[in-house]
Amino acid sequence: MRGIQALLFITRTDATRWHAPTRMMMGLILALPLGGISELLAACDCGSACSQPLATVCSGIRLFEIVLAGSLIAGLFVRIGGWLAIVDFCVRALAGFAGPFTGRGGTVFGFLTPHGDWVWGAVCIGAITLLLDIVSVGGGALSADRLVHDWLNTHLDKRTP
């Protein structure tokens, strides 16, 4: 019963519709390969010279980004996935802001390859701001979270005498 209560808390959302397009757009930005974390990590920037375990880790990071994007697009577990997307966009923003300062071929803290310019970093900061609003309200009316929450509430009401 405790697990169901936790799931109810995670999927709790209101009926607002304003953030559905924004949530879906953030998911599309994560799904597109432009500037993904696996491209920004200096360890993954070795191309065909990467060892097999490292290539697997880099592919796993990209797969994680795609699953996270699907979560945001469908609106499933937005309260958890939103925080992970915020971390993703923070890394992208750091790489964007570092671009003009480190120059070509430099790295940030020895593990992050600069990408883009300060405008790309500012776009990522805007995405972080929007995601903070979305995480606070949940998936909204047009989300899988709302369906899961309503279904659980309906089935829990039938069980209780």
Listed as ranges, residues in the chain with pLDDT below 70 are 1, 15, 33-50, 103-105, 157-161
CA dihedral 95, 21, 135, 111 (to 10 degrees): -10
* Confidence at residue 32, expressed as pLDDT on a 0 to 100 scale: 80
* Confidence at residue 48, expressed as pLDDT on a 0 to 100 scale: 65
For residue 145 the two structure tokens come to 């979270």
- The mean of the pLDDT values for the chain is 79
Angle at 65 between CA 129 and CA 18, to 5 degrees: 40
Q: Name the one residue in this structure whose structure tokens are 């971390």.
A: 87
- pTM here is 0.79
* Confidence at residue 50, expressed as pLDDT on a 0 to 100 scale: 67
* Confidence at residue 86, expressed as pLDDT on a 0 to 100 scale: 92
* Confidence at residue 111, expressed as pLDDT on a 0 to 100 scale: 72
